[in-house]
Amino acid sequence: MCLAIPMKLIEADGPFGKVEIEGVKRKVSLQLLPDAEVGDYVLVHAGFAIERINEEEAKKTLQLLTELALAQEAEEQ
Protein backbone atom coordinates (compact mmCIF):
# COMPACT_ATOMS: atom_id res chain seq x y z
CA MET A 1 0.00 0.00 0.00
CA CYS A 2 1.27 3.47 -0.84
CA LEU A 3 0.52 6.54 1.20
CA ALA A 4 0.89 10.16 0.16
CA ILE A 5 0.87 12.80 2.88
CA PRO A 6 -0.65 16.26 2.35
CA MET A 7 1.91 18.95 3.12
CA LYS A 8 2.14 22.70 2.54
CA LEU A 9 4.77 23.99 0.12
CA ILE A 10 6.73 26.65 2.01
CA GLU A 11 9.70 27.15 -0.34
CA ALA A 12 10.27 26.52 -4.04
CA ASP A 13 13.64 26.64 -5.77
CA GLY A 14 13.58 25.25 -9.29
CA PRO A 15 12.98 21.50 -9.29
CA PHE A 16 13.02 21.28 -5.48
CA GLY A 17 10.92 22.64 -2.67
CA LYS A 18 10.43 22.45 1.05
CA VAL A 19 7.16 21.25 2.53
CA GLU A 20 5.89 21.39 6.09
CA ILE A 21 3.21 19.83 8.21
CA GLU A 22 2.87 20.18 11.99
CA GLY A 23 6.42 21.51 12.29
CA VAL A 24 7.98 18.71 10.23
CA LYS A 25 9.83 20.00 7.17
CA ARG A 26 11.12 17.98 4.24
CA LYS A 27 12.88 18.69 0.96
CA VAL A 28 10.92 17.31 -1.99
CA SER A 29 11.21 17.12 -5.73
CA LEU A 30 8.80 19.33 -7.67
CA GLN A 31 9.64 17.71 -11.01
CA LEU A 32 6.14 16.22 -11.28
CA LEU A 33 4.49 19.55 -10.33
CA PRO A 34 6.63 22.26 -11.93
CA ASP A 35 3.79 24.79 -11.62
CA ALA A 36 3.36 24.30 -7.84
CA GLU A 37 3.54 27.56 -5.92
CA VAL A 38 4.47 28.44 -2.35
CA GLY A 39 1.32 28.14 -0.26
CA ASP A 40 -0.08 25.20 -2.23
CA TYR A 41 -0.92 21.95 -0.49
CA VAL A 42 0.60 18.96 -2.24
CA LEU A 43 0.52 15.22 -1.75
CA VAL A 44 4.03 13.94 -1.00
CA HIS A 45 5.08 10.36 -1.70
CA ALA A 46 8.63 9.01 -1.65
CA GLY A 47 10.17 12.47 -1.75
CA PHE A 48 8.07 13.74 -4.66
CA ALA A 49 5.18 16.19 -4.69
CA ILE A 50 2.79 14.21 -6.86
CA GLU A 51 -0.48 16.16 -6.83
CA ARG A 52 -1.83 19.53 -5.77
CA ILE A 53 -4.89 19.49 -3.48
CA ASN A 54 -6.96 22.21 -1.84
CA GLU A 55 -6.47 23.16 1.80
CA GLU A 56 -9.82 21.74 2.91
CA GLU A 57 -9.03 18.32 1.45
CA ALA A 58 -5.55 18.40 3.02
CA LYS A 59 -7.00 19.12 6.45
CA LYS A 60 -9.65 16.39 6.13
CA THR A 61 -7.02 13.86 5.13
CA LEU A 62 -4.71 14.83 8.00
CA GLN A 63 -7.61 14.54 10.45
CA LEU A 64 -8.39 11.04 9.18
CA LEU A 65 -4.74 10.01 9.47
CA THR A 66 -4.67 11.31 13.06
CA GLU A 67 -7.82 9.36 13.90
CA LEU A 68 -6.34 6.19 12.41
CA ALA A 69 -3.14 6.60 14.42
CA LEU A 70 -5.09 7.14 17.64
CA ALA A 71 -7.28 4.10 16.96
CA GLN A 72 -4.20 1.97 16.28
CA GLU A 73 -2.57 3.21 19.48
CA ALA A 74 -5.70 2.43 21.52
CA GLU A 75 -5.92 -1.04 19.97
CA GLU A 76 -2.32 -1.82 20.94
CA GLN A 77 -2.96 -1.05 24.62
For residue 5, CA distances in Å to 65, 75, 76, 77 come to 9, 23, 23, 26
Q: How many domains does the chain have?
A: 1
Model confidence at 76: pLDDT above 90 = no
What proportion of the chain, given as a percentage, has pLDDT over 90?
86
How would residue 39 be classed by pLDDT, with cut points 50, 70 and 90?
very high
Rounded Cα–Cα distance for residues 69 and 53 (Å):
22
* pTM score: 0.87
- In this model, does residue 1 exceed pLDDT 80? no
CATH number at residue 20: 2.30.30.140
Q: What is the pLDDT of residues 6-30, one digit of tens each?
A: 999 999 999 999 999 999 999 999 9
Q: Could you list the residue range(s) of the whole structural domain that residue 29 is in?
A: 5-76
